[in-house]
Structure 1
């Protein structure tokens, strides 16, 4: 596998330095704001809870192992992060329909309503942030950020001890 120095020319170095700096700034700003949206729901759900609820909403009920694998994190981490969501009534534990010994996690009605409230708040924030952008700029940014995250997940998965891609 080529090293970053093998892949860069002098002009690439400046561009890659600018890119890594902007990613670092973005990460800091995202943590400061937690990209939590606007209004009453602002910062009312942490990133881990949002991502877990979102995955259950998009993919349906699943076991801890499948959820962990899909998110690229350890099963023990999922178990620890899901516990308060179960306690809050946002996630239900149910018996697996084909294997009565196995447990599946599913989004509760309360969880679905709460997730939609947070999504609406976050959509409002994204609308504010990109309000002066054209539709084409929003589309391009979303496509490129998705591609960036996918590539980062793939590279991370290749690293020794790295998580599986999400």
Structure 2
């Protein structure tokens, strides 16, 4: 019994603790991510204040998902954007109030509803998407094509790891 208990206890030598160099790099990355989020929030506020079809960033994610995937129930939308259903409910209310999204009867279950972007919602999404794409292209204009592709690859990889990590019990 004592042997089984000892075997179940973590052994400091076989721990999955990161190497000190990995921790330094992770710290530097963390600092850069905080800086990136702060700068991107500031840039978004600046550009949104001048936009004709301005959509709050949190609402943009919902609208983009609906435009790309088609009608969804609110709980499926919350899951798709990794958000809390009550938060999504409030955001959907704002989008409905702006005339960008509408609730329609779910064709699979007449008791439920699905969320659908309106024509105005699709126009607003496209205007925001096009403006964002042009802004990013201007910001990265002096980067080589290889550097831009590397950035896309690494951000995609980081996002995938974040999604996997969130699904684990840690």
In structure 2, the partner of 1:155 is 165
**TM-score, reference length from structure 1:** 0.84
Q: 1:118 aligns with which of 113, 117, 128?
A: 128
Q: Which is worse superposed, 92-101 or 11-20?
A: 11-20
1:132-157 CA distances to partner (integer Å, 9 max, x unpaired)?
01112111101111111121122123
Where relative contact order (Cα < 8 A, 6+ residues apart) is larger, the structure is: 1
**TM-score, reference length from structure 2:** 0.82
In structure 2, the partner of 1:48 is 58
CA distance in 1, matches of 2:70, 2:106: 13
CA distance in 1, matches of 2:81, 2:122: 19
Aligned-pair RMSD on alpha carbons?
2.4
**Residue segments in structure 1 that go unaligned for 5+ positions in a row:** 161-166
**Residue segments in structure 2 that go unaligned for 5+ positions in a row:** 1-11
Paired residues in the alignment total 157
CA radius of gyration, larger in? 2
Q: 2:38 aligns with which of 28, 33, 48?
A: 28
1:79 aligns with 2:79: no
2:53 touches 2:124 (CA, 8 Å); kept in 1? no
CA distance in 2, matches of 1:6, 1:81: 40
1:34: Cα distance to partner?
2.4
Q: Equivalent residue of 1:131, what SS? A: coil
Q: Equivalent residue of 2:110, what SS? A: coil
